[in-house]
Structure 1
């Protein structure tokens, strides 16, 4: 490792510690106001942060971002930069609602959403791996195709950019535990929230404790060495990109079914969550647990701005309050700076290359 690379990693780690310390200090100050001056504006903000409904909203909003981030980690760790996560979320969101409407089953719709996303990810993989296309351009194409195709399909089948409602997943509630203040939200949530936690744990295990995980990391860091060891680099990369489609499909399907409808107006109901997922896994340093924690920050701010709009705590225009999570993303990108990409990320490789 070069001195410059080591310094970059040290600066990035220091920035993450700085952000965490600033967040903790801010929360501590707000907690002081909440305990000793609950009627003050900072005190009211603290009790908004500490409410069970805020944590519940944070978990719900985290699901599509975390799952898309997991997909992005697998793809990029293998050497394929997939910035088309937004498109995969969009296509799976529509396919899930269409599938649920056609079959009458939310879970079948959920699976259909995953299949649609995986197929689109497969097309992206073929274009990038087989035909050696520029991965950034191909990823943008995936996003733009989904952005146009999903609302168009909705227009064809439902007569407008928004589909009809198909219902939502029933909440899973654990008696007694669900009554715990704040943390009770963990025991009174949609099945998608528990799928998210299982996916994070499974992804961490696969990447760090299995042979396939080692292959994925090697494909992104030193594909020549992996090829020399007798492992087909292209197959590993295909599998990783398809996994990005599976995870993003789960995220998009969960997003749509938790709402019960696909809305295709403007940037669609996905509204930039795929791009926030990219920031989340970069900030989380390609670690599934880190991606979950960083997403919790962004989703938590989103949940807070929703509560602030309804609670009328601060005299700030709603349009300005809505920018809070996006400003946080920009600040995080500015402070974290350059994140070390896998050595071979974005590079094409064919067996036998020198």
Structure 2
């Protein structure tokens, strides 16, 4: 290898522009934190107080749930070779169905179960269109989103006479005595059951992908489906199961969102409001690792919780619309500085058993 080529690629010790920028950003953040702790009465101090407040962590956990579930679903689908950008649509359908069936049955858990069924059925339609009829996966995913964006508010108007629906079926809080009183981290021990389901789902997804035969088949289906087929495993079946699993997980995410708030909002982009698309960014930034996707989700959700509090308390003398952009701008910066995503080789490619 020539010296020019080696220099172009860089070594671990090289200070590339990206690494320099990352160091500068980290240094500025460290300075802000130090100033905030040293001078609590300043704006920096107020910022740090909000950042380390227990309510911020509690809001982060709550906001993370629908995004994390959708991200896990996207990982399984795309790891198998099927790009599912219809996660937003699956969340929308699940959010409405969860509230509606909770009203009909009076049970949050029956509402959750019905949301999972509805989301899985829509994922099945997407799977048939993409796998059986070999449709373009991006267009099919957008179609799922647009259909859900129309059908959920329509169903809301049909059953309730308006696009917004409330439910009296509430979700309680699981409190672990003693641990719940810990400053800041106590929020982890006083949370919605959906928060704990999220952690269980992340652990189960990681285990499934990395420690089971099905997980190995999913990865092989997205990387080298021909080799998987040669080994005697039905690629089509694996992809169907992976996409259906994305529907199951989005069902949990959508229902958790609406049932936690006790309502479904069908105006505009609905109550989901882009969380399915944020989930795609989360699992890409997490490099298709469930744990990485959770950390990415919590980064965005934490920034979202932070900007909501900053707006409410009016800490900085800047227009509120600019404050609302904090999560999105920060995620773009983080992706630019630290993003290292490798898309599965066969993602988006159609495959039929016996193809050469």
TM-score above 0.5: yes
1:306-321 residue pairs with structure 2 within 5 A? 306-321=308-323
Structure 1 pair 253/277, CA: closer, same or farther in 2 (3 Å)?
same
Structure 1 residues not aligned, in runs of 5+: none
The answer to whether the aligner puts 1:153 opposite 2:161 as a matched pair is: no
Per the alignment, residue 223 of structure 2 pairs with 221
Report the secondary structure of 2:126's partner residue.
Answer: helix
Displacement of 1:208 after TM fit?
A: 0.3
Q: Larger deviation: 15-24 or 208-217?
A: 15-24
Q: 3-state DSSP class of the match of 2:263?
A: coil
Determine which of 85, 88, 106 is the counterpart of 1:86: 88
SS in 1 for 2:47: helix
Q: Which residue of 2 aligns with 1:126?
A: 128
Contact kept, 8 Å, 1:75 with 1:241, in 2: the verdict is yes
Higher alpha-carbon Rg = 2
Which one of the candidate residues 171, 174, 184 is aligned to 1:172? 174
CA 1:16/1:109 → structure 2, altered by over 3 Å: closer, same or farther?
A: farther
Find the aligned partners of 2:264 and 2:25 in 1 and give their Cα distance: 34
Distance change (3 Å), C-alpha of 1:21 and 1:123: farther
Q: Which residue of 2 aligns with 1:230?
A: 232
**Contact 1:158 1:164 (8 Å CA) reproduced:** no
Farther-moved stretch of structure 1 (30-39 vs 14-23): 14-23
Corresponding position of 1:258: 260
Cα distance change, pair 103–16 in 1 and its aligned pair in 2 (3 A):
farther
* Preserved CA contact (<8 Å) 1:76 1:82: yes
> Which SS does the other structure have where 1:163 is aligned?
strand
Aligned-residue CA RMSD (Å)? 2.1
**Which range moved further: 310-319 or 183-192?**
310-319
SS of residue in 1 equivalent to 2:208 = helix
SS at match of 2:233: coil
5+ unaligned residues in a row in structure 2: which ranges?
A: none
Distance 1:23 1:154, change over 3 A: farther
Number of equivalenced pairs: 345
> How far 1:274 moved relative to its partner?
0.4
Report the Cα distance in structure 2 between the residues aligned to 1:176 and 1:225, rounded to whole angstroms.
53
Report if aligned partners of 1:15, 1:335 keep a CA contact under 8 Å in 2. Answer: no
Check conservation: 2:37, 2:48, Cα contact below 8 A.
no
Structure 1 position 43, deviation (Å):
1.2
Q: Which digits, 9 at most, give the CA deviation of each residue in 1:194-221, with x for residues without a partner?
A: 0000000000000000000000000000
What does 1:150-299 align with in structure 2 at a 5 Å threshold? 150-299=152-301
- Indicate conservation of the 8 Å contact 1:58/1:299, yes or no: yes
Q: Deviations over 1:22-72 (max 9, x none)?
A: 665454323312321001111110110000000000000000001100000
How far apart are 1:316 and its partner, in Å? 1.6
Compute the displacement of 1:15 (Å): 9.9
Which stretch of the first structure deviates more once superposed, 234-243 or 320-329?
320-329
| Larger mean Cα displacement after TM superposition, 32-41 or 252-261 | 32-41
d(CA) in 2 for partners of 1:19, 1:170: 44
